[in-house]
Amino acid sequence: MSYTDLKQKIDTGEVVLLDGGIGTEILRHGYTWASHQLKNEPKLNLDIHKDYISAGAHVITTNTFQLSRRSFRNHFASDEHMALQGVANLTDRVGELVNDSVQLADEARKALGRDDVLIAASITTLEWCFRPDKTPDIEKIYDEYLAELTDYSDAGTDIFLFETFNSTPEAVVAIRAAREVGKPGWIALVPYKDGNLLGGESMEQVVDALGPEEPDVLLLNCAPPHHVTAGMEKLAPLWKSPLGVYAHVGKFNPPEWHFTNEYPPDKYLSECKHWHDLGATVIGGCCGTTPEHIALISNSLED
């Protein structure tokens, strides 16, 4: 399936399924996610992608959340300090890891004979996604996004999925960079319990800022289901283009995710049905969700 075919499904209101958590699936298998395990456990990455494809996902995401040159540089006081303390050409490794992630996703779909499944690049904010107060100077980050997106484009990704964005200014920069690189961009924002964004913007402000940018899909993600519901109830009446959702389940217990039984697949499906009733047609799962969650959604909502 080409992206044109997928966009037609989206534009006509058919349900399109994203995958679920990848980093948390790695944790479930007994490995830390901090290194993404792209080099140490490539087969594990491959198998997780295959599990989500088999579960019914139309779009699978690369295991690259928070994988960027800036995230590597942020470990050090300065570029000079990084040169002295880090491995040689540390930031150059980002492009290599990005390529590995896309190739593993591509290998998974080919192994299952599913070239109709598309690959979305998982790209989050340049600074920590749950800290809107750390948003970098918007006037200075466009070229940084261009470099990041070029890595994914060169590796062969189909979609740029900008996820867990906490405010609209950085989202606008990202979607404009995607347009220049020439790949479709989807924007996923973090809602808070009051139905506004984590950064405090109202959904009216979201629509005013992102409407003119015309992202193919606007989504809410990486928040507990009741936060996503609060956001959807405010956003859906205002946004006239395709909407999507993928909530997280469990709790964060640094440095990793803590799993809970609050939202087993059947309860998560009930939330998804409500989000679908509100207008969401691109649906998946974030941290803590599993192939079993996606399979149940596939068996229920697609019918």
Q: Is the pLDDT of residue 177 over 70?
A: yes
DSSP 87: P
Going from N- to C-terminal start, the domains of the chain cover 3-301
Q: What is the CATH number of domain 3-301?
A: 3.20.20.330
Q: Is the pLDDT of residue 302 over 70?
A: no
Q: Quick one: pLDDT at residue 40?
A: 87
| pLDDT tier for residue 21 given thresholds of 50, 70 and 90 | very high
CA distance 123 to 82: 23
Task: State the average pLDDT over residues 190-215.
Answer: 97
Q: Quick one: pLDDT at residue 95?
A: 87
Q: Is the pLDDT of residue 87 over 80?
A: no
Q: Choose the weakest-confidence range: 41-50, 108-117, 149-158, 249-258.
A: 249-258
269 Cβ contact list (under 8 Å, min separation 6): 293, 296, 297, 300, 301
- Crossing angle of the two packed helices 93-111 and 142-155, in degrees rounded to 10: 40
Q: Quick one: pLDDT at residue 208?
A: 98
Q: Is the pLDDT of residue 236 over 70?
A: yes
- Crossing angle of the two packed helices 291-301 and 265-278, in degrees rounded to 10: 50
Q: Quick one: pLDDT at residue 165?
A: 96
| pLDDT tier for residue 72 given thresholds of 50, 70 and 90 | confident
Q: Is the pLDDT of residue 303 over 70?
A: no
The pair of three-digit structure tokens given for residue 154, joined into one six-digit string:
């060169």
